[in-house]
Structure 1
Amino acid sequence: MTFLAIAALVVALVGLIFSVIALRRLSAGRRGSGADALPEDVHGLRQEVAALRAETRDALRHLAVVRYDAFGDMGGHLSWSVAILDDGGNGVVLTSIHGRSEARTYAKSIAGWSCEQQLSPEEDEAIDHARP
């Protein structure tokens, strides 16, 4: 009976040793594959960032507002020009001129950071401030 108990203990101990060795090998293998897989992950992330940048080139994301007094007898900077442009300088400039009795609003198309219509100094300033 004692012999069977000792034999079972030896078998259990040998099994435990093999399990620890196998676990260490598996753990070391995972660390190596994680480090090896990292460049692939970084490469994939770089491709994703490049694709997102390409998608946002046409987004109207450059914005600048210039507030000013259109008339010398009025204060408060109630008139304004806003440029809303994409990376290529395409978009629109909106201008609102406020007087004592009326307000007028204008919209001008911008292509390649310039406009076919004549721009006011404030509209030019808004485009310059919107340029990255």
Structure 2
Amino acid sequence: MALAALSLLITLATWRRTRKPSRSTATSLRKVPRPVRTGQLSSTQVTDELAALRSEVSSSLRHLAVVRYDAFGDMGGHLSWSIALLDDTGDGVVLTSIHGRSDSRTYAKNVAGWTANQQLSPEEQEAIGFARASNG
């Protein structure tokens, strides 16, 4: 008898949740653009939009890595850093900030095809390596 009552309660709870869309489902559906919701877009239009989005994503800076370090032996706390900001083809920039006791310096170096025209520090090379290994 107790098992039947428990089964009935579970069935009723499940039925109440599935009989009408929840507020979160209705809210989610409202966020979908109207032409998509109503089926007014053709498969060709959807394919074209998807291709455009893929193109945008591949040229965005998706491969990111930060390397923190002590630039000088008398400084601690890993206050200096190099960050690589690269797209899928390895184009982008490496930014480096070196902190000393009395001053700080910031450098930016262009990167094309995972390499730079200027000489890179070991930390900058490490940042590019980590960024390349990331999935973006």
TM-score category (smaller protein): 0.5 to 0.7
Question: 1:5 corresponds to which residue?
Answer: none
Deviations along 1:33-78, one digit per CA (max 9) or x if unpaired, are xxxxxxx85x765554333111222111221110000011111000
What's 2:88 paired with? 87
Instruction: Tell me the equivalent position of 1:102.
Output: 103
Instruction: After TM superposition, list the pairs within 5 Å mapping 1:1-132 onto structure 2.
Output: 45=46, 48-131=49-132, 132=135
* Distance in 1 between residues matched to 2:104 and 2:68, nearest whole Å: 14
**In structure 1, how many angstroms separate the alpha carbons of the residues matched to 2:120 and 2:110?**
11
Distance 2:61 2:100 in 1: 30
Instruction: Please report the TM-score for the alignment, with normalisation by the length of structure 2.
Output: 0.61
What's the secondary structure of 1:125's corresponding residue? Answer: helix
Aligned amino acid, residue 105 of structure 1: T
Q: Aligned equivalents of 1:46 and 1:121: distance in 2?
A: 43
Runs of 4+ in 1 over 6 A off after TM superposition: none
For 2:52 and 2:92, the matched residues in 1 are separated by: 22
Identity in percent: 70
Q: Aligned residue pairs: how many?
A: 93
One-letter identity of the residue aligned with 2:84 = A
CA deviation string 1:4-56 (max 9, x = no partner): xxxxxxxxxxxxxxxxxxxxxxxxxxxxxxxxxxxx85x76555433311122
Rg (Cα) greater in structure: 1
Gaps of 5+ in 1: 1-39
